[in-house]
Structure formats: structure tokens, C-alpha cells
């Protein structure tokens, strides 16, 4: 894949990990957050990405990645209006009511990514929401390697989805077309495909086995587990447990 110019809004764990991986893959990356570039000097040194003000992050880019907490999505409306229609926009959000507050539309059954699209009034692609930040940086493998991790990519705009899927493959993962945004809940917290680091062969059945009637309860159970992990818990320690729960390990 030819190198891209990629903007990232958000400098938390997800933004940091994606910036690191993208720079390593040879892409030009610029990052902004709400605090301003003067607060991101260490971020630049650690990742190799350029840090810019929020107005600049959407200028001259091929891809925009949104990596902010879900409840901050509506704050981006004005800056998203300045994004070229040719730019593929990827959202990495997960819905965690304890952190994001209750979003009634999602509680009533609207897929998280459909809600994001409604807030921003632009088509988006959903990806990188079901892999750990550690995995983003450390678990990518060359294209011909065995045991590559597959990541589901959901979206309604076919061309934008192709761009993101190519980017995912470029970072060392097998991109799997998981269908429309309406079906994107299948890759959310609590579902079998969430952070199980599954293969391309395993992933389709995991997505198919997602259970809409149990989705909220499973989500809340998983969130309760995640927030109660000790600070010293290793980033990859949860993967075997989730794989066992999904029926991938005996």
C-alpha cells in the first residue's frame, strides 16, 4: 500500500498506539487533541507523529481516525465539516456507559457507529475497536505470516471501507469485511469477536454468534471485569480468557 497522510484526533491509548504503528509502517501521521499541540511534545517523541492544532489535523489528509471517548464525538461536528468528502474516516469508539454516560439511542438498540454517523453527519468506517492498544503495536505480522490476527471492519461506504481495510492489512492484520454499520454491534464489547485476536477463519463465526438479546448484559459484564483488573494486569492477559469464553480454546 502506498504511504498515506493520516490525521488522528485523540492522543489517548488508542491514538498513541495507532500513531506508533502507522509511523512504523511508513505513513505520515499528524495528531491533535482538544488541549493543543503544546501538550503533546512527549507524544511526538514517543510515536514519531507530528503534533498539530485541531484545525490543521484535517488538512491534506487521506484518512482521518477518530480516537476520542464516545461522549466527546459531538464536540467534533464543526471540525468534521472541514474534512474533504474524499477522506476515509475511521471511528474506533466503544460504548462504556460508566465513562461515556448513558446514550439513550444506543441503549434503545441503535448501533454505536450509526449513532456516531448521525452525530457527525458523515459516513464513517468502524475499526480497531476490538483489539488492545498493546496488540495494535506489537501483534501485527507480515502478509505471508502464519496466525495473523483478523480485524472486522464495518461501514456503508464501499470505497471508504476499502481504504481502511487496506490500511489494516498494511499494519499487519487481516481486514475482514464485517458488513454494514447496522451490524457493527457484533464487534462491540462483550461479543465473541471482542479482543479475542481471532484468525480470518475464526472471525466469521464469532461475528455470527453475537447475540443481540444479550448484548447489553454481556457488555456490562465485560466492562465490570475490565474496570476491576489490577493496574499490574498484563495487557495480553485477558486474551486467553476471552478466547476460552468464545469457544476458541478448550
- Buried b or exposed e, range 86-117, using 16+ CB within 10 angstroms: ebbbbbbbbbbbeebeebeebeeebbbbbbbb
Residues 243, 248, 249, 250: what is their CA dihedral angle, to the nearest 10 degrees?
130
Q: Is residue 171 part of a domain?
A: yes
Q: Is residue 105 part of a domain?
A: yes
Distance (Å, whole) CA 192 – CA 201: 14
Which whole number is the average pLDDT over 99-114? Answer: 95
Q: Is residue 44 part of a domain?
A: yes
- How much is the mean pLDDT over the chain? 94
Q: Report the SS3 class of residue 198.
A: coil
Q: Count the residues in the chain.
A: 250
Q: What is the reported pLDDT for 235?
A: 83
> Model confidence at 198, in pLDDT bands (50, 70, 90)?
very high
Q: Is residue 41 part of a domain?
A: yes
pLDDT, one tens digit per residue, over 33-85 is: 988 888 898 999 999 999 999 999 999 999 999 999 999 999 999 999 999 99
What residue has cell string 457507529?
A: 113
Q: What is the CA radius of gyration of the chain?
A: 17
First-to-last alpha carbon distance for the chain, in angstroms, is 38
Distance (Å, whole) CA 245 – CA 250: 9
How big is the CA angle at 238 (ends 244 and 248), to the nearest 5 degrees?
Answer: 20
Q: Is residue 90 part of a domain?
A: yes
pLDDT, one tens digit per residue, over 5-19 is: 999 999 999 999 999
Q: What is the reported pLDDT for 245?
A: 87
Q: What is the reported pLDDT for 174?
A: 97
What share of the chain in percent tops pLDDT 90? 86
Task: Answer yes or no: is pLDDT of 249 > 90.
Answer: no
Which whole number is the average pLDDT over 78-106? Answer: 95
Task: Answer yes or no: is pLDDT of 207 > 80.
Answer: yes
Q: What is the reported pLDDT for 107?
A: 94
93 backbone φψ class: left, alpha, beta (φ>0; ψ -120 to 50) = beta
Q: Is residue 172 part of a domain?
A: yes
What residue has cell string 448484548?
A: 215
CB-CB contact of 155 with 128 (8 Å): no
Distance (Å, whole) CA 165 – CA 180: 14
Find the domain containing 111 and state its range: 5-179
Distance (Å, whole) CA 19 – CA 25: 10
Q: What is the reported pLDDT for 41?
A: 86
Which whole number is the average pLDDT over 146-159? Answer: 95
Q: What is the reported pLDDT for 150?
A: 98
Distance (Å, whole) CA 197 – CA 242: 9
Q: Is residue 136 part of a domain?
A: yes
Task: Answer yes or no: is pLDDT of 30 > 90.
Answer: yes
Task: Answer yes or no: is pLDDT of 250 > 80.
Answer: no
Q: Is residue 62 part of a domain?
A: yes
Domain count, the chain: 1
Distance (Å, whole) CA 26 – CA 120: 29
Name the nearest CA neighbour of 169 among 9, 59, 52, 21. Answer: 21
CATH value at residue 154: 3.40.50.720
Which whole number is the average pLDDT over 165-193? Answer: 96
Q: What is the reported pLDDT for 1?
A: 62
Amino acid at each position: 500500500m502506498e504511504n498515506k497522510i493520516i490525521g488522528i484526533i485523540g492522543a489517548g491509548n488508542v491514538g498513541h498506539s495507532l500513531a506508533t504503528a502507522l509511523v512504523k509502517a511508513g505513513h505520515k501521521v499528524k495528531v491533535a487533541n482538544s488541549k493543543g499541540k503544546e501538550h503533546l511534545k512527549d507524544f511526538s517523541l514517543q510515536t514519531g507523529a507530528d503534533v498539530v492544532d485541531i484545525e490543521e489535523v484535517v488538512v491534506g489528509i487521506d484518512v482521518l481516525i477518530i480516537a476520542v471517548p464516545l461522549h466527546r464525538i459531538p464536540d467534533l461536528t464543526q471540525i468534521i465539516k472541514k474534512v474533504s468528502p474524499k477522506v476515509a474516516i475511521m471511528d474506533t469508539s466503544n460504548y462504556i456507559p460508566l465513562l461515556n454516560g448513558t446514550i439513550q439511542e444506543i441503549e434503545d438498540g441503535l448501533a454505536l457507529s450509526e449513532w456516531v454517523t448521525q452525530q457527525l453527519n458523515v459516513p464513517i468506517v468502524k475499526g480497531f475497536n476490538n483489539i488492545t492498544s498493546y496488540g495494535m503495536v506489537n501483534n501485527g505480522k507480515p502478509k505471508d505470516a502464519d496466525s495473523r490476527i483478523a480485524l472486522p471492519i464495518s461501514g456503508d461506504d464501499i470505497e471508504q471501507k476499502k481504504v481502511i481495510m487496506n490500511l489494516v492489512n498494511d499494519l499487519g492484520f487481516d481486514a475482514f469485511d464485517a458488513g454494514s454499520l447496522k451490524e457493527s454491534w457484533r464487534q462491540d464489547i462483550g461479543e465473541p469477536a471482542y479482543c479475542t485476536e481471532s484468525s480470518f477463519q475464526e472471525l466469521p463465526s464469532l461475528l455470527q454468534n453475537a447475540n443481540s438479546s444479550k448484548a447489553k448484559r454481556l457488555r456490562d459484564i465485560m466492562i465490570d471485569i475490565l474496570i476491576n483488573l489490577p493496574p499490574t494486569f498484563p495487557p495480553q492477559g485477558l486474551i486467553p480468557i476471552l478466547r476460552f469464553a468464545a469457544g476458541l480454546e478448550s
